[in-house]
Amino acid sequence: MDHGTPFALTKRTSLPARLLSMLRLIGLAALGVSALWADVFSPADHLIKQIEDRYNGARTLSVQFTENYSIQGHSRPSEAGTLTLRKQGKMRWDYSRPAGKLFVSDGKTVYLYTAGDNRVEKVPLKDTEDMRAPLAFLLGHLDLKKEFTDFQVHAGDGGNWLDATAKTDRVPYDKISMMVAPDGSIHDLKIFLHDGSLLTYSFKDEKLNPSVSDNTFHFETPPGAEVVNAVEYSLQGK
């Protein structure tokens, strides 16, 4: 008589039961962790992290832009060109439409040159109200939750829209909305200003960390140009 058989059968039937119990416990624990993760990290949190990871890790950026501005249903002609950024606070907007328009920040002062008027508007970066200047935040220490609140996410064509409201009324806009691609890049940006106007940017052909010389952000006043100092830029005064 084989006395080992009942023992062997008992071991074989009880072992899967124990494993099943363990797997159930592990499954319940995993569900609990997933629920906690969902509560702590919302879809907005994931998008914010994607954006910040992408841009906080870059030192330079180059992208093609299209700029549109409208107020009370009236739109001005669309403008376009190339935007180049470098940490910290350096930027250059070379316009191909209209040709000869240039906006430069060397990190301390911003310059707006219009070839048609042969005129330079110059103002300290900290005093400007021009909405191009804040886009330098992309290559600063980007912290969206420090500047915005009430984040909302909704699906869009080619990515997700991230909507946010300004935390303070000391900035010239109420809220922003950005189209975020799966890689964390910003393809479209809408800026809703206090006066009801809307400023939009579309971006394409983004390049992270291209080679960019410091001279790119050095502004030379063109010969014979009129220079206007200490001007607070406004969209209506461009």
Q: Give me the residue spans of the domains in the chain.
A: 1-40, 46-237
CB proximity list for 189: less than 8 A, separation 6 or greater: 135, 176, 177, 178, 179, 200, 201, 203
Superfamily for the 46-237 domain: Lipoprotein localisation LolA/LolB/LppX (2.50.20.10)
Q: What would you report as the CA-atom Rg of the chain, rounded to the nearest whole angstrom?
A: 27
Centre a 10 Å sphere on the Cβ of residue 175 and count the other Cβ atoms it contains.
16
Helix (H, G, I), strand (E, B) or coil at 40: helix
pLDDT value, residue 172: 83
Closest CA to 204 of 186, 222, 217, 218: 186
- At a CB cut-off of 8 Å and minimum separation 6, what does 200 contact? 67, 68, 69, 188, 189, 190, 191
pLDDT band for position 170 (50/70/90)? confident
Segment 173-210, tens digit of pLDDT: 899 999 999 999 999 999 999 899 999 999 999 999 99
DSSP-based three-state secondary structure for 2: coil
pLDDT digits (tens, 9 = 90+) for 38-87: 445 689 999 999 999 999 889 999 999 999 999 988 999 999 999 999 98
Its pTM surpasses 0.85: no
pLDDT at 17: 56
Structure tokens at 162: 């991230």
